[in-house]
A = this chain, B = another copy of it.
Amino acid sequence: MRYELYYWGSIQGRGEFVRLSLEETGAPYVDVARTDGGEERMLALLDDNTLTCPPFAPPFLKAGNRVIGQTADILLFLGERHGLAPKSDAGRLWTHQLQLTLADLVVEAHDTHHPIASSLYYEDQRREAKLRAADFIANRLPKFLRYFERVLASNPSGPAHLVGARLTYADLSLFQVVAGLRYAFPKATGRAAKQCPNVMALCARVAARPRIAAYIASERRLPFNQQDIFRHYAELDR
């Protein structure tokens, strides 16, 4: 079976968390919206009234007959199927808890450039973005990164992974969030990074994993850009 990932074809966005897990498992998948007519098929599926489990928004994953939406839910599914989460009930829920905390951070990072409405341009909410970003880089970004540093330091199996002694989807997602923050807020993230050596070491190890390294070097990995969740506006960084 080949998975079908449905997500906007021009950005990493939330789809990137799914792409990274799929790439790491080596599972065959097609990134539908990057194929001919794929984005139209994605939009048609979103409006398909015959679906019994309709997704609210991309990303969603087709796995055979099933359609699964919500990034964290897709990862819960892939994690169980492909060994990207512990089998134990406690380990599985802990991995998911970390993913949900990363998801909270992603929303906050997005809202730095769109604090008023996603439907408006950045240029129409620039003043508000400056206020929101100032709070984000002063308070929220360091708080979140210090939290993940604490999780690594508290792991009884050592600081090489967030959960236990093996890679989970939460490790892959932390890598992606830190990469996005480095792109969007190089100065603020650089400062916070100095206090989070275990986080930075984990991210470097994830980037060096053979399948992840191959993916990042490929055309399948879209570059960060100014339509994405993580955006670099120099005036928002400090």
Contacts and interface: CB of A to CB of B under 8 A. Distances in A.
Given A90-B66, A155-B52, A119 B132 contact: no
Interface residues of A, number: 45
A80 B150 CA distance: 29
B97 A70 contact: yes
Nearest to A156: B52
Interface stretch (A109-117, A194-202, A219-227, A229-237): A109-117
B93 A116 contact: no
Given A54-B151, A119-B135, 12 more contacts: A52-B156, A66-B90, A69-B101, A70-B96, A70-B100, A73-B100, A77-B93, A80-B89, A115-B128, A116-B132, A117-B132, A128-B128
Given A111-B111, A131-B117, A68 B52 contact: no
A88 to B, nearest CB: 11
Contact of A97 (B73, B80, B101, B117): B73
Interface in A68-118: 68-70, 72-73, 76-77, 80, 89-90, 93-94, 96-97, 100-101, 104, 107, 111, 115-117
A35 interface: no
Contacts of A117: 131-132, 135, 139
Given A119-B139, A139-B119, A76 B101 contact: no
Contact of A53 (B97, B125, B135): B97
Contacts of A93: 68, 73, 76-77
Contact of A107 (B73, B96, B107, B156): B107
A218 interface: no
A68 to B, nearest CB: 6
Contacts of A89: 80
A121 interface: no
A213 interface: no
Contact of A116 (B69, B131, B154): B131
A174 to B, nearest CB: 13
A144 B56 CA distance: 8
